[in-house]
Amino acid sequence: MRKTPYVIVTLFMILALLSIPAAASKIFSVPTADVAGDAFELDFLHHRGQSSVGAQFGLLPGLSGGLRQNFGPDRQLYATLRGALVEETQSRPGFALGAELSLKQQHIYAVVSKQLGVPGLRGHFALGTGRYSRAMAGVIYMLNPVKVSNVPTVSVFAEYDGQGLAGGVITQFSPEFKANLAVSSQGASFGLGYKAVF
């Protein structure tokens, strides 16, 4: 009986998200409203004593789904689903819904993303159930938006992930490969990501 609302929300998300375009991303552990319907993303993340490996596939424009395996305290396999309801424009924020579902836990969230006046500065806010019930927020600023020769693009970020503050750097070595490094009250965190657009 308790799982009925989760099933209804998941079905509503699938029906509502079938035809809305956007592009893919997250800050470090805070999601964004960007959803790629034409990409495959593979990532590894070690944050707050927990490691995870995830794969996300663009299913349709504005809709992606995948799997994420956590290692450490939360040894769960999650099915993930994320879809854009509203694409970000100059005058309005982007809005997306997402879900991370396992046999033991369900995390459902809504996220809003918007450029914050200065080019290259974006803010993100997520709220929902499970690990999103305390709210998550973050800002990211791209230091060198124009890639010159072999110099990677670099962004700095600060985020609150519902457990505490973290800040760090994201280095985009190529359109396909990025590396993240962060510091929080629980020590250093890092991640690697690969993205292929089709």
Indicate the residue type of 191. Answer: G
Structural domain harbouring 19: 4-197
Alpha carbon distance 27, 85 (integer Å):
19
pLDDT of 2: 53
Rounded to two decimals, the pTM is: 0.82
- Which CATH number belongs to the domain containing residue 74 in this structure? 2.40.160.40
Alpha carbon distance 72, 194 (integer Å):
23
- Evaluate if residue 54 carries a pLDDT over 90: yes
Indicate the residue type of 169. Answer: V
User: Mean pLDDT, to the nearest integer, of 19-33?
Assistant: 62
**For residue range 90-130, what is the model confidence (pLDDT) as tens digits?**
899 999 999 999 999 999 999 999 999 888 999 999 999 99
More confident residue, 80 or 147: 80
Considering the chain, what is the average pLDDT of its residues?
A: 85
- Evaluate if residue 3 carries a pLDDT over 70: no
Cβ 67 vs Cβ 177: under 8 Å: no
Residue whose entry in the numeric block shows the structure tokens 């995830």: 54
- Evaluate if residue 23 carries a pLDDT over 50: no
Alpha carbon distance 157, 120 (integer Å):
11
- Evaluate if residue 4 carries a pLDDT over 80: no
Alpha carbon distance 86, 49 (integer Å):
34
Number of domains in the chain: 1
Name the phi and psi angles at 76, rounded to 5. -120, 150
For residue 47, the Cα-to-chain-centroid distance in whole angstroms is: 14
